[in-house]
Amino acid sequence: DAEKVLRTMDGAEICGRKCKLDRAGGGRQNTNRNDDRRGGGRGRDGKVMEPEKLFIGKLSPDATEDDVREAFRRVGEIKVQLIKDRDSGESRGFGFITFSDASKAEEALHSYQGTEIAGQGCRLERPGQKPQA
């Protein structure tokens, strides 16, 4: 139950860091389940689907957002967000790519799987999807 977790874990300390939990959407509860401004609707697990977004993993620590943009330049305009360690500022080896539309993301998912970026092959997935064995 999300409410129970919110009540019991908000402010808890994990690995020496204090957690701050909040509801998605800045604390606003979405009472209209069909109101999805980002497109794509909701999946079976209730998570918001973003068909134009892909997870990118297995990145070299040396890979930059510009490296990712260059590797995917033939797909068109993309937005890249690489996740960095809060303390060191170093890349954590994964991030997200947002494409201009869902068809471009689908094309990249199938055509760019394993593309080498900064000397290492990347892994592409739908956000929230479990890696396939």
pLDDT in tens, 115-125: 999 999 999 99
Mean pLDDT value of segment 18-39: 53
Mean pLDDT value of segment 40-47: 52
Q: How far apart are CA 61 and CA 58, in angstroms?
A: 9
Residue 36's pLDDT is 41
Q: Indicate the residue type of 83.
A: I
Mean pLDDT value of segment 104-122: 96
- Nearest CA to 99 out of 40, 63, 51, 49 is that of 51
